[in-house]
Amino acid sequence: MIPIAPIFVRSKEILEQLSSLLDEERTAYGKQDSEVIIDLSAKKQTLLDEMNQLNEKRVNILIKFDIVDRKKPTEEAFKDWLSLQDSSMDNVRLLMQECEALLKTCKTKNNTNARVLNTLQKRNKHLFELLQGHSSKNKVYTARGSTRPISSKHTLGRA
């Protein structure tokens, strides 16, 4: 029997932890707690690194047992092989389905957090420009064709 069930078990644990961290991250964005956000980012990166190592290990096992093509291993080839196996691989099928569902949940949460972060960044940039005396209406073109705000100290009205 191919020893991939433990890999899926650990992958499921990682995805559950990642989902929890993404929930914590969203809360931290709401509280605008930068220390917690940085700490959570480091924890997420550690989990993602371990997940990548597990995926490499899984692919290497599948190549070793000649389940997927050595030159171009694909997830579809593994799924096709798995669908042809008897009931002894039901636990692997179930773990794989659970991992896919968790991965979809994590992607949704991550995209939501990215939108929240983007909104916060835009708001903070706007507030910073206001503090500097810039206005989104007072912009000039640079030599490269982009725009930049001009300071209220240098406007025509102050001349």
**Tokens 């406007």 label which residue?**
155
**Tokens 């190592």 label which residue?**
53
Q: Is residue 152 predicted with pLDDT exceeding 60?
A: no
- For residue 130, the model assigns a pLDDT of 76
What is the Cα–Cα distance from 106 to 100, expressed in whole angstroms?
10
Residue-wise burial string across 113-136, b where 16 or more C-beta atoms lie within 10 A, e elsewhere: beeeeeeeeeeeeeeeeeeeebee
Q: Which two tokens stand for residue 60?
A: 């290497």
> Comparing 17 with 128, which gets the higher pLDDT?
17
Question: What does CATH list as the number for 5-132?
Answer: 1.20.58.300
> Comparing 83 with 131, which gets the higher pLDDT?
83
- Domain extents for the chain? 5-132
What is the Cα–Cα distance from 150 to 138, expressed in whole angstroms?
6
- For residues 71 and 63, the answer to whether their CB atoms sit within 8 Å is no
**Mean pLDDT of the region 67-75:** 91
Residues above pLDDT 90, as percent of the chain:
67
Q: Is residue 135 predicted with pLDDT exceeding 70?
A: no
pLDDT tier, 125 (very low <50, low <70, confident <90, very high otherwise): confident
